[in-house]
Structure 1
């Protein structure tokens, strides 16, 4: 597939999997502009050179010292042909943030009460807490409210994908990870409102080398398309 990326005569590729008996009709409707596609890749499309990586090596995290680039959109650091979540449409879309918190205070949710002993540090000096020491993860849940604007001339469905990453570089943490997604039906030149739920204990934490789920303190970036929002998680 690497050849297609640099070929000016290939404007798009349709990956249809197993389309079934109605697949031919569906493809025709897309090719001739009767239907506005809105699919997204459920995987990272690696370059041909990725075949040099042993199929028996299923480590997720990258290891630069051994030239290992990692796997999946969460940890892969190499070149991609098409990224996880990539997709084409006859419409283009813009996003506008309507509401989202700028800061989360964790002090009241610590299991053992307010204590600096609940704050740990990585070898790089980055502070974090253990998720299992929070008294209520549900209480930390919040929603990101977005306006999705269809700037094209066709109605269509669109998958809104919200990603998150920590601003600090933390050993073992994902490069970014999918927080949540919604498929919305949009009208040409109109906006649609949607919300995505964020559970910091699930969506912003990660498992360390001991298998403990940790939630680093500090700034996080929530991303949808080119839109970014800063969220501070503090003790």
Structure 2
């Protein structure tokens, strides 16, 4: 009641929501299936009361290491912005300059934030990344496990999740705007060196181990020009993704992050970013753990399609023969 009353006359309202280490930490999982990745009922009531009484749009600050379903926050018409600060007392430094507009945010979501229903679909004991039927019972079944229906794995992480995330991996906004331009984008790549590298690795180790990083160094180079088209100096984190042929089918990931770089770009200026996919970024892993070169047409994308943020993509044709 006091918070709601204060919001009614305040010039600006900052509402802090989230979790602390009593909610979840190492050796203590968040419990309650869907409730484990949702804001508590008390916090949702506080949000409704404060937002309902506020005379102006409010700013919600989230402090949590658990990726919470923020749908009620995003759907509240009185919420003007959401600033995620991570785990309390660990990553809170630097928030005030952003809140006062002295510096632009440039962070990117490091997790895929799922809707709360995700917690009821798949057991925490199912470690499969790929989507499909689960051998474990649905977490929301109150009966004995032997009588509960099996869960369905919708896929884990941005690489395999088939649903619509509340916050996608890599999402982030800025007080300025950016434009990406691909300056160097190869059109063809031979995967013959990758196929040979995987054969050599298997022969050397007796198994389908990952090749040594030095042996799988950058296969090709991409140059992206990042232009700050707004009026405020700001940092930008450029993310590079590989989208393989047959993405999302037969255990093939939807996309995979192959590199990133954070740069400072003054207003009106352009900064060049170089990103290098490794040979192993063009390999796929079968259900039995074996790895093979995946030939076909790839898509290389840079950035995340968020309002005002840079994004560009280009096709890449791969073959097994030398180019």
State the TM-score, normalizing by the size of structure 1.
0.81
2:239 to 144, 147, 161: 161
Match of 1:93 among 166, 178, 195: 178
Q: Is the deviation greater in 101-110 or in 152-161?
A: 101-110
1:12 and 2:90 matched: no
Cα 1:88/1:72, change in 2 over 3 Å: same
Give the alignment of 1:1-235 within 5 angstroms: 1-18=70-87, 20=89, 23=92, 26-52=94-120, 53-63=122-132, 67-107=152-192, 111=196, 138=216, 141-169=219-247, 170-201=249-280, 203-225=281-303, 226-235=311-320
Q: Distance in 1 between matches of 2:125 and 2:76?
A: 32
Higher relative contact order (CA 8 A, sep 6+): 1
Task: Report Cα offsets for 1:77-104 as digits up to 9, x if no partner.
Answer: 1121000011121012110000021101
Q: CA deviation at 1:140?
A: 6.5
Q: Is the 8 A contact 2:241 2:300 kept in 1?
A: yes
After superposition, what is the alpha-carbon deviation per residue over 1:187-216, rounded to whole angstroms, capped at 9, x for unaligned? 112111010111132x22221112111221
Does the CA contact (< 8 Å) of 1:165 and 1:204 recur in 2?
no
**SS of the residue aligned with 2:171?**
coil
- Residue 28 to residue 108, structure 1, CA distance change in 2 (3 Å): closer
Work out whether residues 29 and 35 of structure 1, in 8 Å CA contact, stay in contact via their aligned partners in 2: yes
Which residue of the partner structure matches residue 115 of structure 1?
none
Relative distance call for 1:208 and 1:96 in structure 2 (3 A) is same
Segments of structure 1 that go 5 or more residues without pairing to the other structure are 113-129
Aligned partners of 2:245 and 2:294 also within 8 Å: no
CA contact 1:168–1:219 (8 Å) conserved in 2: no
Distance (Å, rounded) in 2 between the aligned partners of 1:230 and 1:197? 15
- Once the two structures are TM-superposed, the CA of residue 73 in structure 1 deviates from its matched residue by 0.6
User: In structure 2, what is the Cα distance between the partners aligned to 1:4 and 1:177?
Assistant: 29
Gaps of 5+ in 2: 1-69, 135-150, 198-207, 304-310
Note the C-alpha offset of 1:105.
2.2
Cα contact 2:85–2:91 (8 A) shared by 1? no
Aligned residues: 214
Q: Using the alignment, how far apart are the partners of 1:110 and 1:57 within structure 2?
A: 32
The Cα RMSD (Å) is 2.7
Q: Which moved more, 1:60-69 or 1:27-36?
A: 60-69
Distance 2:235 2:182 in 1: 19
Provide the C-alpha distance between the structure 2 equivalents of 1:109 and 1:49, rounded to a whole number of angstroms. Answer: 40
Mapped contact 1:131–1:215 kept (Cα < 8 A)? no
Higher CA-based Rg: 2
